[in-house]
Structure 1
Amino acid sequence: MPLTPEQRAMRARLAAHVRWSKARDRSAELAKARETFMSRFEKEVDPNGEMTPETRALAAESARKAYFTRLAYRSARARSGRETRGREVDDAA
């Protein structure tokens, strides 16, 4: 029997909780993922490897901050839209 999206999400959360309950050093286990994530921004700002390592690191950090700021901005806009739609429904009632 296929799982519903809610059941799949619950199963995934369960697996994540079990996995992290067994981790002894979370920071060490996430180090490779962090490194890979940051390399994405380094490649974005310096695709040809022409910058000095220091300059590339600073530019990559700014690109990372821009990425997360963009996510926050989009999230705020989406929440604002939902709140506005919710008020319109309340006003019509």
Structure 2
Amino acid sequence: MGPKDPEVRALRARLGAHASWANTLDPASRTAKARAAAAGRFERQAREKHPTATDEQIARVADHLKRAHYAALGLKSAAKRAKNRAA
């Protein structure tokens, strides 16, 4: 089992992630900038699709864009897992 072995890499990554989060007392503040950037991206997409919409409508569309994005990621992940099981 060498250092490039996927299992070893996964264990090292998990170790690093847990050690990093153990040093973080306020996880929300640590991820706030990334969450704001993602929300801004979905809002920009909503405004591009519907330039005359109200702020309430934009918020609703942005929420659905975000949900669609994560549903697409889930679908890709499920397909990858199925492919790996078949291999």
Normalising to structure 2: TM-score of the pair? 0.68
2:68 alignment partner, one of 54, 66, 69: 66
Residue in 2 aligned with 1:52? 54
| Distance apart, 1:38 and its partner CA | 1.0
| Matched positions, count | 82
Normalising to structure 1: TM-score of the pair? 0.65
Larger Rg belongs to: 1
In 2, Cα distance between equivalents of 1:8 and 1:76:
22
Structure 2 stretches lacking a partner, 5+ long = none
RMSD of Structure 2 on Structure 1 (CA): 2.8
| Distance apart, 1:42 and its partner CA | 0.9
Letter in 2 for 1:45: A
Residue in 2 aligned with 1:29? 30
Residue in 2 aligned with 1:91? none
| Distance apart, 1:75 and its partner CA | 1.4
Letter in 2 for 1:77: A
Aligned: 1:17 with 2:14: no
| Distance apart, 1:80 and its partner CA | 2.0
Q: Deviations over 1:43-69 (max 9, x none)?
A: 112138833221111101100110111
Structure 1 stretches lacking a partner, 5+ long = 87-93
SS at match of 1:47: helix
Taking only the aligned residue pairs, the percentage that are identical comes to: 30
